[in-house]
Each structure stands twice: as C-alpha cells, then as structure tokens.
C-alpha cells in the first residue's frame, strides 16, 4: 500500500502526502497512530516514525493479548478474567502472539461466565469491553446483584463486541476511585 493510500485510509483524504513531508512533522492521532502499518509504510518511504514499531503494536495493541504477554514476562498484573494465562508464541515474522485458545480462555462471553469469574476475583470489579475505547464499554460493579445489568450495559455501548475482559469482562479486584 502506498503512503498516500495508507494515510488517506487512516486519516481521511490528505492529497499528496510526500510533498508535505519533506522537512515537516506530521502527527497522527487515534486509529492512525495505533495501526502497525503506519510505521512500516513510513519506513519504506524513508520517513522516521517516532513511536513503537509495527511489531510492538501488533503484539501489545490488543487489551487482552497485551495482558497475556505481560503475564508471560512475569510483569505483575491486577487479577482479571485471564489471570494465570501466559501462553505466547512467535509468529513466522517474529511477532509475539497469543494462541487463539489462550485468548479465548481469557475472555468472558456471557454475564453468567463473568459473574462466576468476578466472584473468584472479588469485589469491586471493572467490566471492560475487549474492543472500543474513549471511556465506552467500562463499568465499575461493587456487588454481584448489579453485575448482570452492568455487563449488558457495557455490551450495548460497544456494538459488535462479543468478548469482554473482566477487564472480554476485565474484572479487576483492586479498589478503584469512587468517582467511577
């Protein structure tokens, strides 16, 4: 994919990117700055990207996968629906990836499954959609009888998400600010 096509795809129409790049600094925000193709395509055009390489974005850009990778590296993590899951592997391109089974095991796919994991983690917990962002798809739940409604509210805020972390729900046990 050409640089013009990539930037246009990620950031909307920008015209002839190359003529503006010489001696200038472009900033990318949102989806563009999180897309692993951006630093790779810029490098092909001999443009320095200040930020993580595409390989790191691929390995760590997903909330669930990144936590599994952190657990594999023995980084202390708050208890969550995927606590103890640390299976990783290297792709043929050398990227750290998480096997599908490990990923699926870390996810919560129903409120009943989420409630079961929340009881093991302890209250309060956070329910976090595995997709989305910007404050959407997250709820603090203080007790079991409020879990189902909170889980369904999170699912409704992030259409199309079928997985939750309990943070698929990412359910965390650490005390959280009461303002949440």
pLDDT of residue 46: 79
Q: How confident is the model at residue 70 (pLDDT cuts 50, 70, 90)?
A: very high
Q: How confident is the model at residue 164 (pLDDT cuts 50, 70, 90)?
A: low
Highest mean pLDDT among 10-24, 30-44, 60-74: 60-74
Rounded mean pLDDT of 28-35?
61
Q: Comparing 37 with 11, which gets the higher pLDDT?
A: 37
pLDDT of residue 57: 78
Residue partners of 48: CB distance under 8 A and separation at least 6 = 42
Is residue 65 scored above 70 in pLDDT?
A: yes
pTM for the full predicted model = 0.66
At residue 18, φ and ψ (nearest 5 deg) are -55, -40
Rounded mean pLDDT of 76-84?
90
The whole-chain average pLDDT of the chain stands at 74
CB burial of 95-128 (b: ≥16 within 10 Å; e: otherwise) equals: ebbbeeebbeebbbeebebbbebbeebebbbbbb
Tokens representing 94 are: 């050398």
pLDDT of residue 75: 94
Rounded mean pLDDT of 50-68?
80
What is the Cα–Cα distance from 69 to 22, expressed in whole angstroms? 38
Rounded mean pLDDT of 102-119?
90
Give which of 161, 148, 160 is closest to 113, Cα–Cα: 148
């Amino acid at each position: 994919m050409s640089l013009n096509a990539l930037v246009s795809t990620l950031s909307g129409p920008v015209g002839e990117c190359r003529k503006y790049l010489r001696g200038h600094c472009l900033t990318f925000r949102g989806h563009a700055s999180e897309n692993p193709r951006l630093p790779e395509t810029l490098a092909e055009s001999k443009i320095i990207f200040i930020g993580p390489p595409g390989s790191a974005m691929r390995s760590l850009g997903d909330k669930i996968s990144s936590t599994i990778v952190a657990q594999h590296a023995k980084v202390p993590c708050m208890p969550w629906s995927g606590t103890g899951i640390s299976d990783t592997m290297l792709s043929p391109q050398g990227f750290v990836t998480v096997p599908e089974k490990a990923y699926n095991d870390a996810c919560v796919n129903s409120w009943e499954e989420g409630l079961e994991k929340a009881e093991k983690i302890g209250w309060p917990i956070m329910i976090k959609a595995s997709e989305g962002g910007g404050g959407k798809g997250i709820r603090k739940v203080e007790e079991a009888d409020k879990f189902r409604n909170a889980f369904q509210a999170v699912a409704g805020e992030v259409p199309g998400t079928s997985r939750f972390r309990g943070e698929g729900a990412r359910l965390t046990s650490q005390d959280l600010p009461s303002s949440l």
